[in-house]
């Protein structure tokens, strides 16, 4: 085995190189990920090179066993391999592992090196981006349906006019309540005079039977109460109209008021969806711009719809200049990327680990690209999005 002194020297010279294990008869270890990623001292690993195997999470054990069998058979699948380890403090750490074979001059395998990096934060961002993408698709369907913003505003105004006319005729009041019981708008004062308090709580609203049984006194028996139970699920809002004269508490007025409230609920829901969509888009862009890897979005013709600052920096061109280009102009092995893209368009499923050679402003470099479909509301693929990682250093290390 390699001595601790030699290992220490290797670690100083190659900080990204975790460890090198010699291949011998009966070799049964993967080239280990440095256990320091999982919070342990490196001496623990040196004393027991197989220690890291005990840290592999249950879901990844089968993956590790397959890699181990392949190594024993002389097969080297370089990677990347994603393996999750149990940290010393109990949480899971995501790692990306690359295996690099070391040969003698006569091409006989003498050792296997492992390069690993902590990708816990990257995986978290990837999951959040997937969730945001799904949320954006749903919100787009709500916010950009057939009704325009103008028709929503018009419908909302019309509904309020109906409610106001009935309320003023009965000297009642209209209250608009949000989920936290904060009063948003009071249209008249009759409600305050009758109840003797400014606001009615959500608990009161849920007890609809109490209103009609006269639990709050005779003045409430003839109120028209539209329960929060009917509309709370989709909007979080409730409207109350009170008190209604006996002459106004007709079935037609009740129907009219319920229809108006339903319209307001739909309009409020749409407006809230639009606001949430705007907030989600801003947050989505913030996440994309904060990651170290490149990120891109392409249309069906391979033209850039969006790319983050990290990808722009890799290529050495300003964003506005790149937005006028196609990826085909920058990719030297475009045929391979195009083939992978067609597969994604046809299957609707993403691909990872596609290697490309890109032409930057002043250099050529290697990248690993992922491709994920961009779906429209009908589930049809409209474009591609994905991450771009510079692997030039790994390529050069492998060559050395």
Backbone φ and ψ for 337, nearest 5 degrees, come out as: -65, -40
150: pLDDT strictly greater than 60: no
Q: Which residue has the tokens 């608990």?
A: 203
Q: Cα–Cα distances in Å, from 104 out to 1, 110, 111?
A: 17, 7, 9
Which of 3.40.50.620, 3.30.420.40, 3.30.450.20, 3.40.1190.20 would CATH assign to domain 292-399?
3.30.450.20
29: pLDDT strictly greater than 50: no
**pLDDT for res 340:** 92
Min mean pLDDT across 82-86, 99-103, 170-174, 310-314 is at 170-174
* Confidence category of residue 236, pLDDT binned at 50, 70, 90: very low
Q: Cα–Cα distances in Å, from 394 out to 78, 79, 114, 137?
A: 11, 11, 11, 36
Torsion of Cα atoms, 398 then 351 then 35 then 87, to 10°: 170
21: pLDDT strictly greater than 80: no
Backbone φ and ψ for 129, nearest 5 degrees, come out as: -65, -40
Of 40, 41, 42, nearest in space to 19 by CA: 42
Q: Which is higher by pLDDT, 104 or 257? A: 104
- Please name the residues in contact with 349: beta carbons below 8 A apart, sequence gap of 6 or more: 373
* Confidence category of residue 184, pLDDT binned at 50, 70, 90: very low
131: pLDDT strictly greater than 50: yes
* Confidence category of residue 270, pLDDT binned at 50, 70, 90: low
**pLDDT for res 137:** 64
Backbone φ and ψ for 114, nearest 5 degrees, come out as: -125, 130
Over residues 4-29, the mean pLDDT reads: 44
Over residues 183-195, the mean pLDDT reads: 34
82: pLDDT strictly greater than 80: yes
Most confident of the following: 115-124, 131-140, 152-161, 218-227: 115-124
User: pTM score > 0.75 for this model?
Assistant: no
66: pLDDT strictly greater than 60: yes
Give the CATH fold of the 4-118 domain: Beta-Lactamase (3.30.450)
**pLDDT for res 33:** 53
**pLDDT for res 203:** 38
Over residues 45-54, the mean pLDDT reads: 71
Question: Cβ–Cβ contacts within 10 Å for residue 149, how many?
Answer: 13
210: pLDDT strictly greater than 80: no
Contact 195, 271 (CB under 8 A): no
* Confidence category of residue 174, pLDDT binned at 50, 70, 90: very low
231: pLDDT strictly greater than 80: no
| Alpha helices (runs of H) in 241-350, residue ranges in sequence order | 251-290, 309-315, 319-322, 334-347
Contact 261, 155 (CB under 8 A): no
Q: What is the pLDDT of residues 314-365, one digit of tens each?
A: 999 988 888 888 888 899 999 999 999 999 999 988 898 899 999 988 888 9
Q: Alpha-carbon torsion 134, 140, 143, 147, what sign? A: negative
Backbone φ and ψ for 370, nearest 5 degrees, come out as: -110, 150
Average pLDDT along the chain? 64
Contact 34, 45 (CB under 8 A): yes
* Confidence category of residue 177, pLDDT binned at 50, 70, 90: very low
Q: What is the pLDDT of residues 278-317, one digit of tens each?
A: 766 676 677 778 788 899 999 888 888 888 889 999 999 9
* 3-state DSSP assignment of residue 143: helix
Over residues 208-218, the mean pLDDT reads: 37
Min mean pLDDT across 45-54, 147-156, 247-256 is at 147-156
Of 314, 348, 374, nearest in space to 136 by CA: 374
Residue percentage of the chain with pLDDT more than 90: 8
**pLDDT for res 273:** 65
Q: Which is higher by pLDDT, 227 or 381? A: 381
**pLDDT for res 361:** 83
CA distance 345 to 54: 40
Question: Cβ–Cβ contacts within 10 Å for residue 170, how many?
Answer: 22
Most confident of the following: 24-33, 130-139, 254-263: 130-139
Contacts of 249-257 with CB under 8 Å at 24 or more apart are 249/222, 249/224, 253/166, 253/224, 254/224, 256/162, 256/166, 257/162, 257/163, 257/166, 257/224, 257/226
């Amino acid at each position: 085995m390699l001595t601790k002194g030699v290992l220490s020297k290797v670690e100083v010279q190659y900080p990204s190189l975790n460890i090198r294990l010699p291949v011998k008869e009966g070799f049964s270890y993967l080239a280990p990920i440095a256990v320091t990623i999982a919070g342990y001292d490196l001496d623990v690993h040196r004393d027991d090179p197989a220690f890291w195997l005990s840290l592999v999470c249950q879901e990844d054990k089968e993956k590790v066993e397959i890699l181990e069998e392949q190594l024993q058979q002389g097969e080297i699948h370089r990677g990347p391999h994603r393996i999750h380890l149990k940290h010393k403090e109990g949480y899971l750490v995501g790692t990306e592992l690359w295996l690099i074979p070391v040969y003698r001059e006569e091409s006989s395998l003498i050792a296997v090196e492992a390069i690993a990096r902590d990708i816990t934060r990257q995986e978290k961002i990837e999951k959040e981006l997937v969730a945001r993408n799904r949320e954006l698709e749903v919100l787009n369907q709500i916010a950009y349906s057939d009704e325009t913003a103008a028709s929503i505003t018009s419908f909302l105004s019309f509904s309020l006019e109906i409610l106001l006319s009935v309320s003023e005729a009965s000297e009642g009041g209209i209250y608009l309540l949000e989920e936290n019981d904060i009063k948003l708008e009071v249209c008249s004062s009759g409600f305050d005079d009758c109840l003797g308090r400014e606001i009615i709580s959500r608990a009161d609203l849920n007890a609809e039977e109490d209103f009609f049984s006269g639990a709050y006194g005779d003045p409430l028996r003839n109120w028209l109460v539209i329960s929060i139970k009917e509309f709370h699920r989709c909007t979080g809002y409730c409207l109350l109209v009170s008190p209604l004269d006996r002459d106004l508490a007709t079935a037609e007025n009740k129907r009219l008021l319920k229809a108006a409230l339903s319209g307001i609920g739909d309009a409020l829901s749409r407006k809230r969806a639009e606001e949430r969509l705007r907030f989600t888009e801003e947050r989505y862009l913030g996440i994309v711009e904060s990651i170290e890897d490149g990120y891109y979005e392409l249309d069906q013709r391979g033209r850039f719809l969006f790319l983050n600052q990290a990808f722009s920096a890799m290529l050495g061109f300003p964003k506005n200049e790149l937005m006028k280009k196609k990826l085909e102009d920058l990719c030297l092995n475009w045929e391979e990327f195009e083939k992978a893209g067609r597969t994604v368009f046809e299957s609707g499923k993403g691909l990872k680990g596609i290697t490309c050679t890109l032409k930057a402003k002043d250099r050529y470099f290697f990248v690993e690209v992922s491709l994920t479909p961009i779906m429209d509301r009908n589930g049809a693929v409209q474009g591609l999005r994905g991450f771009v990682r510079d692997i030039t250093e790994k390529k050069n290390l492998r060559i050395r």
